[in-house]
Amino acid sequence: MTKNGKRHIANKEGINPDETVELQEAIALIKNKANSKFDETIEVALNLNIDPSQSDQTVRGVINLPNGIGKDVKVAVFARGDLAEKAKKAGADIVGAEELVEEVSSGKINFDRCISTPEMMPLVGRLGKVLGPRGMMPNPRTGTVTNDIEEAVKSAKSGAVEFRAEKGGVVHAGIGKASFSEKEISENIIEFIGAVRKEKPSGAKGTYIKKVSLSSTMGPGVSIDTGGI
């Protein structure tokens, strides 16, 4: 058996996938199991009682977590002229117009988040098949289509987390690092769940959040009791 296989089995010890635990206990378990040589990302997944294929049951939003995400976010901006200059001054890593659209269209995506001015959207809209599946398509609803480029770039660089419900009604996001304190992880999780709750669609019936799971990059998942959150 490989070393990774042994580690995976060891990491699952003490975790019952059929049980839910309190948030603080879940965080302690996940941090204890995050024993890789790198700083693992702490991820949260919410199973929602929605049908994303229905137009009145979409869930999408963006939130600035109180403790950031512990990652240097690389931001690209589609803009021209003065707004392009403002994007550069605000700290955008990549700024461009037609040439950037061409790059992304060819599959060259070396950024984590992207922002567009409204003027550029007729061109950027063509990138839906490339950016859409990655959850990176600029959208006015998440503040990533805007003329307030400076604020959008600063928000993205500070660790704003964009989320949307995928097929099956699952919303997931990285909300910190294993090196974060339990308090920092807890605050980020509570803030993230609160943001998803605020986006509850009018068409959703019954229990909105069915399940919340917490995991690290290489670790097992732990189900959280959401009653106290």
- Residue 186 to residue 92: CA distance in whole angstroms: 29
Above pLDDT 70, what percent of the chain?
92
Examine the pLDDT at 55 and tell me if it is beyond 90.
no
Res. 189 pLDDT band, cuts 50 70 90: very high
All domains in the chain, ordered by first residue: 18-68+161-228 (3.30.190.20), 75-157 (3.40.50.790)
pLDDT at 2: 52
Task: Name which of 121, 141, 146 is nearest 131 in CA terms.
Answer: 121
Under DSSP, is residue 19 helix (H, G, I), strand (E, B) or coil? coil
Res. 159 pLDDT band, cuts 50 70 90: confident
Res. 7 pLDDT band, cuts 50 70 90: very low
Give the sign of the dihedral formed by CA 118, CA 124, CA 129, CA 131: negative
Supply the mean pLDDT for the chain. Answer: 90
Above pLDDT 90, what percent of the chain?
67
pLDDT at 209: 94
How far is C-alpha 44 from the chain's CA centre?
9
Give the sign of the dihedral formed by CA 172, CA 175, CA 181, CA 186: negative
- Residue 185 to residue 23: CA distance in whole angstroms: 10
